[in-house]
Structure 1
C-alpha cells in the first residue's frame, strides 16, 4: 500500500481510548457522532459536574449513554477523588468499570476537584494494582500563579525549582509518572494525550505497564495554530513543530506503546468566544479516523515519516488494536469500516433541532476521509 496514492482503505472499526461525552443536551448532541467518526468502542472520561466518583453514578451515566446510542461499547472510568476508598475500587472491579482518571487540580475543564498530592492516593493505587484497574493520568502540573514564586509548585518537591506554564506543564509532570511506576510497577498506567517529545521518551523508557495516548489534533497542531484560535485551544496545548513531528513518528514507530485517544472535548460555541475565558477542548469526535489519516499524509509529504511506514498494520494498530490490547478488550462485534479520501465533509457547526447547544469542530468546513460501515 502506497499511502499517499490510496483513495480507499478497509479497517477494523476504531477504538477511541479517551473521549468526553458530557451529559444532558451536549451528550445528546455529540454521542451520535462516535460511529460517524469510524469508532465503535470508547473509553469515557468522568469529569462531569459533579464528577463521577461513585460506582452507582458511573453505571447510571453509562445507561444514559447507551440510551442515546446502544451500538457503541462504552468503557467507563471513575474520577480520582478524596472520597474514594479501596472498597470503591473493589466495587468498581465487580461492576465492570475499567479505570480511574486522575486530574491535577485546576489544570483543565472540570478539574477543580482534582489531585493536589498523589501520595495521599497510594492506598487507592495499591488496590487498583491488585484489582488490575487502569490509572489514566492527565499528565500536567498546575501553572505557577503569576504572583507566586516558582517554588510554589509542589507536585514534585525534589525537582529543580521552576515556574510552570502551559508550555512546560507536561514535562514537569514526568517525574511523577516515573515515581508512580516505580512504586506500583504492576499498575497499568496511561499517560493521556501526550503532547511533547519528552513525554514520548519517558513512556518508552518505562516498563510495559506504561502506555500513552495521542490525539488526532496534536498530530496536526503547533503553538501558532491555537494562539488566537479558540477552536484549536486545548489542554495540554499543542507545542512545537518538533513535538508534533515526534508524535507522528511515535504513531508509526512505537510498536504499540501509543494509541489513539482523541480527547475529543465538546464545548458550546458560546464558551469558546465572548466569555471571560476560553474553554479548553478541541472537538474531533465525528471525523476522528479521517483527522489521523490526514495528519499522517501531511507527515509523509513533509518527510517526517516515510511512505513505507504508514502500513495497514500500523493503521489497524494505532486506531484500535494496540489500545484494545492494553485495555484487554476485544473488538466487540468485529465491525469494519471503509474510509475514502476526500469523501468526508466537516460541518461548520454541529447542531441538532431542539437542542440549545452547538459545537464548532476542528478544521470546520474542510474535507477529510469519509467513513462507511460494512
Structure 2
C-alpha cells in the first residue's frame, strides 16, 4: 500500500558544504534531500573566524544554488570576541558560533581547550541572541576514547547552561542515551540535533565500513534506540541536524593517508532516510515536527526574518514509501563521494512547489 506524506520543506540545522570543487558538487544535493534551510558549519581550511569570511562563504554558496537559505556560523576561536559577536548578529546571515574541542574531529586542530576564556563571548551571544553549537565530545586521553567521549563531555554542557541560562545551546549530533537525558534535564534554551545516520548505525557498522565512520561514532543498540525514541517523541528539544559530511571516496577508504576520514554523507537523501527510519518505528506522525517545525522554532527562522510564514507554508515536499535506490557515488574524481546506504532502498521524494 502506497503511503504519501506532504510536508513543508525540511530545515537541516547541521550541514557541511565544504568549499571549492567539493562545494560545487554537494550544494545542489541540499535541495535534492528536501531541504530549504541549511545551517552551515564553519570548519573549512582555514576556518571561518571572521564576519567577512562568513559573508564571503555565504555568497559562494548562493552562487552555486540561490534557492536554498544558508544560515552561517563562526568557528569558536580566540579571534571571536564580543565585538565580533555584535557585528555578526547585525549581518542577518550569521546565526551562531560552533565550538569544536581541539582535535576531536575533521578540521578541529584550532578548537577549544578551555571554555573559561570564552565566557565574555557567551555573554555577548546571550545579549545578541546567537546560538552556541557544541560538538559534544571530550578529547581522547588516558580515560577517554571515542566510545565515552560524549558522556565525558556532558558535564561541560550542564555547566555552560548553568552559567549562561539565557544562552541558546544546541548539543550537536547526539549519539547516546546519556546525551538525550542530559538535554532533557536542561531548560528550554537547550536543544539537540540528531542525525539521519545515527538512527541506523551501531558500532558494528563503522567497525568494518569506512563510509559509516563519523565523529562522534555510533554507539550501542540501546543508544540508537534512545535516539530513535527521542526523534520520534514529539519533544521539541530534538530536531534534524544531519551532520552530512562529504569526503572524497579516496579519503574515506584511506587510499592516500592510510587513515579514514570521519564523516557520513547524507545530504542527497536527508528527508528520505528520516522517513524510512520513522516508518520502521511506526511514528510517521512525528515527521513534521522533527523535520520541519522544531528546529525552525528554536532558531527563530520566521521571527528573525530568514523565512516568512507564507514561504514555509507554501513550499512543500511529498514523501512516498515507493522505494528509490541510493546511488553508488555522487561526483567524479577527487570529489567522488559515496552516500550513506549506497545501493539500498529508502523512501522517495519530490518537490511540490
TM-score (normalizing by structure 1):
0.89
Q: What corresponds to 2:196 in structure 1?
A: 216
Q: What corresponds to 2:230 in structure 1?
A: 250
Q: What corresponds to 2:85 in structure 1?
A: 89
Determine if contact 1:342/1:367 at 8 Å carries over to the other structure: no
Q: What corresponds to 1:326 in structure 2?
A: 298
Q: What corresponds to 2:111 in structure 1?
A: 114
1:31 pairs with 19, 27, 42, which one? 27
What is the 5 A alignment of 1:13-162?
13-96=9-92, 97-144=94-141, 150=142
Distance 1:342 1:31 in 2: 26
Say how many residue pairs are matched: 341
What is the 5 A alignment of 1:189-228?
189-228=169-208
1:241 pairs with 204, 218, 221, which one? 221
Q: What corresponds to 1:289 in structure 2?
A: 271
2:284 pairs with 284, 306, 310, which one? 310
Q: What corresponds to 1:278 in structure 2?
A: 260
Matched residue SS, 1:10: strand
Distance 1:17 1:134 in 2: 11
Distance 1:270 1:252 in 2: 35
Determine if contact 1:282/1:362 at 8 Å carries over to the other structure: yes
TM-score (normalizing by structure 2):
0.94
Alpha-carbon distance, 1:254 to partner: 4.6
Distance 1:184 1:34, change over 3 A: same
Determine if contact 1:344/1:370 at 8 Å carries over to the other structure: yes
Q: What corresponds to 1:362 in structure 2?
A: 340
Determine if contact 1:98/1:134 at 8 Å carries over to the other structure: yes
Matched residue SS, 1:276: coil
Alpha-carbon distance, 1:294 to partner: 1.4
**RMSD after superposition:** 1.2
Q: Does 1:342 align with 2:322?
A: yes
Dislocated runs of 4+, deviation >4 Å:
none
Distance 1:295 1:233 in 2: 19
Matched residue SS, 1:63: helix
Structure 1 range deviating more: 289-298 or 73-82 = 289-298
Distance 2:325 2:42 in 1: 30
Unmatched runs of 5 consecutive residues or more in structure 1: 145-149, 151-162, 301-306
Alpha-carbon distance, 1:47 to partner: 0.3
Alpha-carbon distance, 1:320 to partner: 1.5
Distance 1:46 1:344 in 2: 32
